Structure 1
Amino acid sequence: MQIDLRGKKAVVTGSTAGIGRAIAEGLARAGAAVVINGRGEERVGAALRDMRALLPEADITGLDADLATQAGADDLAARAGDADILVNNVGTAKPKPFLELTDGDWRDLFELNVMSGIRMTRRFLPAMTRRGWGRVVFVSSESALAIPKEMIDYGMTKTAQLAISRGVAESVAGTGVTINAVLPGPTNSEILSNWMKATAASEGISQDEAEQDFLRTMRPTSLLKRFTTTDEVANMVVYLCSEQASGTTGAALRVDGGVLRQIA
């Protein structure tokens, strides 16, 4: 399969590192012009320099904006211009017991993980439907279906993304625009890798041992028995953004290493 996205423009939120960065690089390799995004100008600039050095022939631009706010989302959409592909990737997670979560914790995570995707989709979707072609992908998580007790607020936001993705897909049926979600499992992304590094340092073990301990205790149903790579997640997203995936919409596709014990 040869995926060719030349002539398409993609916006990938939260793409200075981790899964988002891998997605942006994958789309650029497939020929798309890519807009990367992060919260800080310095971080976006560093990522942009690295990516342009890695892919000198690619058309990559960078825009800083805080997508946890309406103003930030409006600013990014205005500066990015039109787009054929939108990947709603930005998000975060902070393990915290349920009884310690404040109202502010719930609101802040919802604004970033959920409202960012709603706002960005609302801005880019109308032009996609007018053209009769577009791709919107929400990066959710296996935690949407197997809510982690240590991150209930995170699981809630990821479940919300699935409802939004399916609902928006229903709303644009027959337009040539597809809306899908991807569910990664434990992945060597920046956030989880940093967590594993800190755990390894505190316990005096290697990061690989920390990851294996995490899988045994927190995700024992993993069939892969290792963390997925960011590129493995990105490959699924790039496919969903391609012409070859034109028959897939309203779906939630897993890249979870078999953590979820279900066949549908």
Structure 2
Amino acid sequence: MNLNLNGQVALVTGSTKGIGFAVAAGLASMGAEVVVQGRSQRSVDAAVEALRVDQDVHVRGIAADLTIASDISRLCEELPRIDVLVNNAGFYNQKDFFQITDDEWDEMFRLNLMSGVCLTRHYLQGMLDKGWGRIVNVSSESGVFIPKEMIHYGVSKAAQLAFSRGVAELTAGTNVTVNSVLPGPTWVETTSDQIKQRALEQNVSERELMARTFSTRRPTSLIQRYTTPEEVANVICFLCSPAAAATNGAPIRADGGIVRTFA
């Protein structure tokens, strides 16, 4: 199986922690020169330093706020060509639908969808001209089954799935692929803090709230646990490799079996 990315440049957005950091580590181990992106220089520098613990990897970083057009333009100027793009930057929050403001809808879409749209628009043509490239959009199982507790998030991820398939159509007959990955609940650095806050708000224990994730919110999960960032990153890194040449325009699930449909 050819997982070799030697000589390829990969940009992973939102990669200072969580799934993005795990993807950056995985792609670096496959030989790619990896560019880490985060909002603050401090977080970017810390992630790059952590990744460089392995002296054989080639990693650098760019700080940019992907909700700001000028920051995206600056990033593209600093990094004019890439071979692999992983659009991982995004966020979610739980909020009653009737309380979500227009500004909050806009904010959700600017980062979760439009940051990837802008970067894909900039980098895809270069991949097509070269005749090889990989784009992976990190979506969510919430894009298939929209959760009532965060409708704005689910809709943004559904739009990301549609975007991925549409852009894949532009790659027909080439060695460029565009796919999306759908993680389920994943235990990242912020999960613990969020659970503590929600447990306090709901006046329940953290253990009980965690159990509710799979007994109430996501009861169809087959693994009945949170996935790890590394487990999701394994799927993403495979799709970035030469070995995944036959997979294009596909939504690939790493959701622990939450989505019950088989097609």
TM-score (norm 2): 0.95
Supply the distance in 2 between the matched residues of 1:50 and 1:125 (Cα, whole angstroms): 29
Corresponding residue for residue 7 of structure 2: 7
Q: How does 1:72-91 map to 2 (within 5 A)?
A: 72-91=71-90
Distance change in 2, residues 1:98/1:120 (3 Å): same
Distance change in 2, residues 1:219/1:239 (3 Å): same
Deviation at 1:60, TM superposition (A): 0.2
Corresponding residue for residue 135 of structure 1: 134
CA displacement 1:32-87 (0-9 Å, x = unmatched): 1000000011111111111112x221000010000012212111121123110000
* Maintained 8 Å contact 2:181/2:252: yes
Supply the distance in 2 between the matched residues of 1:121 and 1:194 (Cα, whole angstroms): 32
* Maintained 8 Å contact 1:168/1:179: yes
For structure 2, the residue ranges without an aligned partner over 5 or more in a row are none
Supply the distance in 1 between the matched residues of 2:80 and 2:170 (Cα, whole angstroms): 23
Corresponding residue for residue 27 of structure 1: 27
Supply the distance in 2 between the matched residues of 1:154 and 1:7 (Cα, whole angstroms): 36
**Higher mean C-alpha displacement, 222-231 vs 192-201:** 192-201
Kindly indicate whether residue 257 of structure 2 is the aligned counterpart of residue 258 of structure 1: yes
Supply the distance in 1 between the matched residues of 2:38 and 2:217 (Cα, whole angstroms): 29
Secondary structure of the structure 2 residue equivalent to 1:150: helix
Supply the distance in 1 between the matched residues of 2:189 and 2:172 (Cα, whole angstroms): 35
Deviation at 1:215, TM superposition (A): 1.4
CA displacement 1:206-229 (0-9 Å, x = unmatched): 55x542222111101110010011
* Maintained 8 Å contact 1:117/1:138: yes
Kindly indicate whether residue 37 of structure 2 is the aligned counterpart of residue 37 of structure 1: yes
What RMSD, in angstroms, separates the aligned Cα atoms of the two structures? 1.5
Q: Which amino acid aligns with 1:130?
A: D
Secondary structure of the structure 2 residue equivalent to 1:37: strand
Aligned length: 262
Deviation at 1:193, TM superposition (A): 3.6
* Maintained 8 Å contact 1:211/1:227: no
Supply the distance in 1 between the matched residues of 2:184 and 2:159 (Cα, whole angstroms): 17
Identity %: 48
Secondary structure of the structure 1 residue equivalent to 2:93: coil
Corresponding residue for residue 49 of structure 1: 49
Q: How does 1:141-220 map to 2 (within 5 A)?
A: 141-199=140-198, 205-206=205-206, 209-220=208-219
